[in-house]
Amino acid sequence: MKNKLFNYLTLFILSVVVLSACKKDEPSYDLSGTVINSTETAVSNAVIKLYSADSEVSSTTSNSDGRYSFSGIKSGTYSIKVTKQGYVESSEDVSIDGETSKNITILGNANVSGRIINSQTGEGLENATVSFAFNDNKSSDDMIIEIQVVTDASGYYSFENGPTGNFTCTISADGFTTRVIVNVIINAGNNSLEQSTIVEVIEEGELRVVLTWGQNPSDLDSHLTGPLASGERFHIYYSHKNADNVSLDVDDTSSYGPETVTINNFLNGMYRYSIFNYSEQSVEGGAQIQTSPTKVEVYDYTGKIHTFIAPAFTTGSGNTWRVFEINSTGSSINIVPINTYVQSSSSSTVEKSSGIKGYTSYNIYDF
C-alpha cells in the first residue's frame, strides 16, 4: 500500500515537472504595428491594451511615430483595444502564432472642411499643407501633428472621422509665410472652418498689408495714401489700384477678403492706411467693422510683424477705421498705430475725413 502511494506521488511530481518544463519551452512572440487615423497620419500617445478573453495581458503607448510593440506574447487569439482622447475606442482581434505586425486605424466622429486663400490672387491656393495638432501648450517646434491634409486645385481641404478637441492649425506652402492659428475647436459632426489667407513672401525692403474680415459687411475697402516723387500724394483704393511702387493687389467685394496692398519701395514721408465700410457708409459703419471681426496684418520679408484688430466702436464714430501710419526716413520705417473711427463722405474722400486730432483741415497735399 505504501509502495503504491509512493508510486502515485512520484508520478504526480513527474507530471508537474514535465508540464512546467513544457510551459517554459512554449514559444513567445512579438506583436507590433502603427496606430493611424482616417488621414493615415500616425497617432502618438494612444493607449494600446492587449486582452486574452476578458483579462488584460499587457499595455503600452504609441510613440511619436505612432509605433507600438508587445513582447513575450504566447500563441493564441487576442483582442487589441486602442484609446485616445478625442477618438472613439477601437477594438480589433489578432491571432498570434509567430512574429506579428498589426496596424490599427482609430477614428473620431468629426468631419472637417475649409479653404486656404492666396493673398495675391484672392483665390484658393493649391497644394497648401494644413496640419492640426492638439493644443496642449507645447511650443510650435514640439507639437505633434495629429491630422494633415493638402488643398485641392481650388484651395479646399477636408477630412472625415477625425478627432474632436482644441487644436493648433498650421498652414504652409512653398513661397508663402507659414500661418499658425491657435484654439481651433473641432466638435463632433460637421465642422466648416473659416477660410484662411496665407501671404506670399516678399523681398527685403517691401511691405505687405492684408485685410480680412467676416461674412458681414460684404464689402470693406483698403485705402493707402503716401508720398510721390513729384511731391504730391497718391491714394490707392479700388478705383485707383496702382501708383509708383505701390499696388492694391486684391480687391474683394463679397465678404471675408483678403484685400492686399503691397509697397515695393518707400519714399521719405508719411503713409496712412485706413479701412472704409463701403457696405454701410453711415456713421454706424464702424460698428460693423468692429463686430465683423476685422483684422489687418502687416508683413515684411521676415514674415508677419504687426496685427491690428478693429477697436471697440467707442474710439471715434464713423464708417472709416483709421488703422496706422508709417513714417519713412531713409531706410528706416516706423509703424504708428492710430486705431480710431472717422466719418468719410465717400470712398474718394476717405483720406480727407476729419475726426483725428491734428488732421482737421485738408488740402490735396494733406491726405
* Alpha-carbon dihedral 107, 113, 116, 121, rounded to 10 degrees: 150
Cα 169 to Cα 157: distance, rounded to the nearest angstrom = 13
Report the chain's terminal Cα–Cα distance, integer Å: 123
Q: List the domain boundaries for the chain.
A: 33-106, 110-196, 202-352
Smallest CA-to-CA distance from 32 within 59, 67, 56, 74 is with: 67
For the question of whether the overall pTM of this predicted structure is more than 0.75, the answer is yes
Q: Can you tell me the distance from the alpha carbon of 20 to that of 62, in angstroms, rounded to the nearest whole number? A: 34
Contacts of 168 (CB under 8 A, 6+ apart): 132, 133, 134, 135, 140, 143, 180, 181, 182, 183, 184
Kindly report which listed range (72-76, 176-180, 362-366) carries the lowest average pLDDT score: 362-366
Residues 6 or more apart in contact with residue 12 via CB below 8 angstroms: none
Burial call 26-50: b when 16+ CB within 10 Å, e when fewer: eeeeebebbbbbbbebbbbbbbbbb
Alpha-carbon gap, residue 121 to 354, rounded angstroms: 33
| Topology agreement, domain 110-196 and domain 202-352 | no
The CATH label, of 1.20.1070.10, 1.10.3720.10, 3.40.50.2300, 2.60.40.10, for the domain at 33-106 is 2.60.40.10
CA dist 96 and 93 (Å) reads: 10
CB within 8 Å of 307: residues ≥ 6 apart:
295, 296, 297, 298
- Provide the percentage of residues in the chain whose pLDDT is more than 90: 77
Q: What is the pLDDT of residues 248-305, one digit of tens each?
A: 999 988 888 999 999 999 999 999 999 999 999 999 999 999 999 899 999 999 999 9
From the list 268, 253, 256, 248, the residue with the least C-alpha distance to 208 is 248
Residue-wise pLDDT tens digits, 220-246: 999 999 999 998 999 999 999 999 899
The CATH label, of 1.10.260.30, 3.40.1360.10, 3.30.465.10, 2.60.60.30, for the domain at 202-352 is: 2.60.60.30
Grid coordinates of 208:
505687405
Question: Could you tell me the three cell numbers for 144?
Answer: 505633434
Q: Which three cell numbers stand for residue 100?
A: 506579428
Q: What is the pLDDT of residues 107-159, one digit of tens each?
A: 999 999 999 999 999 999 999 999 999 987 565 567 889 999 999 999 999 99
pLDDT at 352 (0 to 100): 65
DSSP per-residue letters across 70-104: EEEEESEEEEEEEE-TTS--EEEEEEESSSEE--E
pLDDT in tens, 157-201: 999 999 999 999 999 999 999 999 999 999 999 999 999 999 999
- With a cut of 60, say whether residue 360 has pLDDT above it: no
Would you state the cell numbers that stand for residue 307, as one nine-digit string? 496685427
What's the CATH number of domain 110-196, 3.20.20.70, 2.60.40.1120, 2.60.260.20, 1.10.1040.10? 2.60.40.1120
Q: What is the pLDDT of residues 252-261, one digit of tens each?
A: 888 889 999 9
